[in-house]
Amino acid sequence: MQCVILAGGLGTRLWPLTKTIPKALIPINGRPFADYQLAWLKRQKVTDVVYCIGFLGEQIRSHVGDGSAFGLTVSYADEGASLKGTGGALRLALDRGLLDTAFLVIYGDSFLPIEFGPIFAAYRESGRLALMTVMRNQNRWDRSNVIFAPPTIVLYDKNCDEATRARMDYIDYGLSVVSRELIAHSVAPGSMADLAEIFRRLSLAGKLAGIEITQRFYEVGSASGIDDFARYAAQLGLVENVGREPA
């Protein structure tokens, strides 16, 4: 399986920390967060990783390198200072010839302690252009943004009106499977695009598959999230599974 990691954003919620270090390299118990994420991808039998980088992206490239320290093959689609959104970043990766026919997509600040293989299999079985993982949220973690009628995402919309919001019990879990065909047809070369908007349109057309996840997610995009994941990683001894030696 191939996994694309979206790690090009500014990380403004964590400024001033992320003015000098990307979220992917935030230290967790003495190791950069990327070490945990990549070690987990390796355990899930991911072989090929594409980092979509931008702001401070050279730091990620310098630390991760070609991925051999993690038992992975890693390549990069670098937007530099001209960020074009999550959909635009995927289009850049496509134009660089880096994308498989279908690939997993995660964010550079999230740790998802689930098995990825069954998610990829569900995508294959769906016959759809994309699959989104969702969690029954009921506004516990953040505002719900999904109407889900298995196996279809009836609506995904982060900016809907309150009447529609009241019908939403699920939230995007942060792991998707996307076809290269979807990106080719949805995003023009060099243009700005948001993957969330692509998914919204796909859901309105009844073409976005979904699968429910019951295990909680972790993130390092906020101060509380960093503390939470640090405790989780220490309790499970995740650092022992990280291949790279500490810097």
pLDDT digits (tens, 9 = 90+) for 76-133: 999 988 889 999 999 999 999 999 999 999 999 999 999 999 999 999 999 999 999 9
- Residue 107's CATH number: 3.90.550.10
**What is the rounded CA–CA span in Å between residue 194 and residue 199?**
9
Given a cut of 70, is residue 141 above it in pLDDT? no
The count of domains in the chain is 1
Domain assignment of residue 115, given as a range: 2-241
**How do residues 155-182 score in pLDDT, each as one tens digit?**
999 888 889 888 899 999 999 999 999 9
Residue 246 lies in a domain: no
**How do residues 200-239 score in pLDDT, each as one tens digit?**
999 999 999 999 999 989 999 888 999 999 999 998 776 5
